With several copies, the nearest count.
Chain A
Amino acid sequence: MNSELPPLDSLECVWAKPSTLTDTPMHYCPGCGHGVVHKILMEVIQELHIQSETIGVAPVGCSVFAYYYMDIDMQEAAHGRAAAVATGIKRMLPDKYVFSYQGDGDLAAIGTGETIHAANRGENILVIFINNAIYGMTGGQMAPTTILGMKTTTTPEGRDTETQGFPFKITELIAMLPGAYYVTRQAVHTPNVVRQFKKAVTKAFQYQKDKKGYCLIEVVSNCPSGWKMTPLESNKWMEQNMFPVYPLGDLKVDGKLTEKKS
């Protein structure tokens, strides 16, 4: 196919896997957004030359093995406690970059208290929050962010408010806290939103450097396995069903709520 092109070494490489990602193949299911987020996160860390100054925190969730892929110092945290663990690290190493990487179950269910109080303290950390509306790792149970009517193994008839309450928009709550400096909702399923996401990550690390305080990037993402769809179906379903509940965009920039938000 490529026979008409000159040999590779005469070409310029315009995109390659960042050197901050290890060579270990990722265990994620085909098409899962976790991989994209990992990749961009590590790309930014490479571009900012902060590999040696960054410590990551991976709590329990599908991304618990993140430390196999990210070539940086990392701590595995108990389920829900990533914000607390990140706080502990950051307070001891205030000049290093610290981020946590959390699922919706981790961040918005069992870890609600730690999440909100870290934001309220204005902890100078970055929180990456993968909202896939499900518990991927434990086999597809309802998450706090599961949307109404969505079927999971624990909402076989679809989530209803009577027993299960409402989809929990914790990102909106966090944006309201004075300690939160930058709060945004992103996605990673198309090239353009990936570019946006990369900008958001870059911005957040810059803020952390400038000691601006707490930054949260929610990534509305898919879980083909948990949703029982192909990757392409899952992305379509996500656009149609999740984005209306979790609209993309900045909620708070430079410590100020955006228009959109209010």
Chain B
Amino acid sequence: MPSVRGTVVIDVDTCKGCELCIDACPQDSLALSKEINKKGYHYAVLIQDNCTGCVNCALVCPDAVITVYRTKKTGKAEKIVTKQPVAVISKVQSNIKVSVDELPEGKVNL
């Protein structure tokens, strides 16, 4: 059992099952689920409890859906701000606003 223990929380609804985290995990702690999420993807899940909290998976995750925790203080904690819910959509112009509703899912040709 590694000296540093950690764990990850994955937002499975937003995960796209790209497997990059799985490939990046030095502990082989991750795998794809059998189930699919509501977007139709098999998502990443923690399959072993040997996670060291090394952050590798989080670094390569393109969708930023992995949050990593550790049991031991690293002294870096103050640098890491846990995601706060933020209001993301703004009325940007007197008469034109960009709303999230119009954001397409998946590839768009322009």
Is chain B in direct contact with chain A in the complex (CB below 8 A)?
yes
Q: What's the tally of chain B residues with a CB closer than 8 Å to chain A?
A: 61
Given A15-B55, A33-B62, A232-B23, check contact A71 B88 (CB 8 Å): yes
**CB within 8 A of B59: which of A5, A195, A230, A232?**
A195
Does A39 contact B86, Cβ atoms closer than 8 Å? no
**Main secondary structure on chain B at its contact with chain A?**
loop
On chain B, the residues within 8 Å of A113 by CB distance are none
Q: Is A39 a contact of B64 with CB atoms below 8 Å?
A: yes
B3 → A minimal CB distance (Å): 15
Give CA–CA (A190, B2) in the complex, Å. Answer: 22
Q: Which residues of B contact A8 (CB under 8 A)?
A: 7, 9, 69
Alpha-carbon distance A39/B57, docked complex (angstroms): 13
- Is the C-beta of B91 less than 8 angstroms from some C-beta in chain A? no
The one of B60, B80, B89, B98 in contact with A194, judged by C-beta atoms closer than 8 angstroms, is B60
- Contact between chains at A26 and B62 (CB < 8 Å): yes
A15 touches B67 (CB 8 A): yes
Task: List chain B residues, Cβ under 8 A from A139.
Answer: 107, 109
Contacts of A194 in B (CB 8 A): 59-60
A14 to chain B minimum Cβ distance, whole angstroms, is 5
Question: How many Å lie between the Cα of A109 and that of B85 in the bound state?
Answer: 39
Asked if A173 is an interface residue, CB under 8 A from chain B, the answer is no
For residue A77, CB closer than 8 A to chain B, the reply is no
Contact A12 B79 (CB under 8 A): no
> With A11-B7, A12-B69, A137-B109 in contact, do A23 and B80 touch (Cβ < 8 Å)?
no
Mark out the residues of chain B between 51 and 90 whose CB falls within 8 Å of any chain A CB in the assembled complex.
Answer: 53-56, 58-74, 76-77, 79-86, 88-89
Chain B CB within 8 A of A231 CB: yes
Interface size class of A (residues with CB under 8 A): 35 or more
Instruction: Using A12-B70, A15-B67, A231-B19 as known contacts, say yes or no to A35 and B24 having CB atoms under 8 A apart.
Output: no
Most buried by B among A15, A26, A28, A190: A15
Which B residue's beta carbon lies closest to that of A20? B86
Write 7 A-B pairs (CB below 8 A) sorted by A numbering: A13-B68, A19-B86, A23-B85, A24-B100, A24-B103, A191-B55, A235-B23
Complex A-B, nearest 10 residue pairs according to Cβ-Cβ distance, in ascending order: A35-B62, A31-B18, A22-B88, A30-B16, A11-B69, A191-B56, A30-B18, A15-B68, A15-B58, A231-B18
20 new A-B contacts, CB < 8 A, other than A39-B64, A71-B86, are A5-B5, A13-B80, A14-B53, A17-B65, A18-B83, A19-B84, A21-B64, A27-B106, A28-B62, A29-B106, A34-B62, A35-B63, A39-B61, A67-B98, A68-B100, A71-B88, A188-B60, A191-B56, A194-B60, A224-B18
B residues with CB within 8 A of A? 5-7, 9, 14, 16-20, 23-24, 41, 45-49, 53-56, 58-74, 76-77, 79-86, 88-89, 98, 100, 103-110
Question: Which positions in A face B, CB cutoff 8 Å?
Answer: 1-6, 8, 11-19, 21-36, 38-39, 46-47, 60, 62, 64-65, 67-68, 71, 136-139, 188-191, 194-195, 224-225, 230-232, 235
